[in-house]
Amino acid sequence: MSMTTIPLRLPEDLKTLATEQAEAMGVSLNQYVGMTLAIRVGAQAEAEAFFARRGACGSRERALAALARIGGADEPTDEDRINL
């Protein structure tokens, strides 16, 4: 696998936390950042693929029909309100 080098600026507190987590896992900060980024990128790609598959099964008309069935009240009911 080809590797590339990139400059990376991190807030000091984030670097400290990442360094601590890398040490706890017994890996270098470089390995930890690469592994963490790979996990995040993979999860994003998986989510995008999931929603693309789900979206391919539907249509705008079906979505609007479903929204029309779930009520038309402009205001929430008393049971829906959160009193702060």
Say yes or no to pLDDT of 81 above 90. Answer: no
Report in angstroms the alpha-carbon separations of 74 from 70, 77, 81. Answer: 12, 9, 13
Tell me the pTM: 0.63
Higher pLDDT, 70 or 22: 22
Q: Of 5-9, 11-15, 29-33, 54-58, where does mean pLDDT reach its minimum?
A: 54-58
Each residue of 33-77: pLDDT tens digit?
999 999 999 999 999 999 999 989 889 999 889 888 887 667 777
pLDDT of residue 42: 97
How many whole angstroms from its chain centre is CA 80? 28
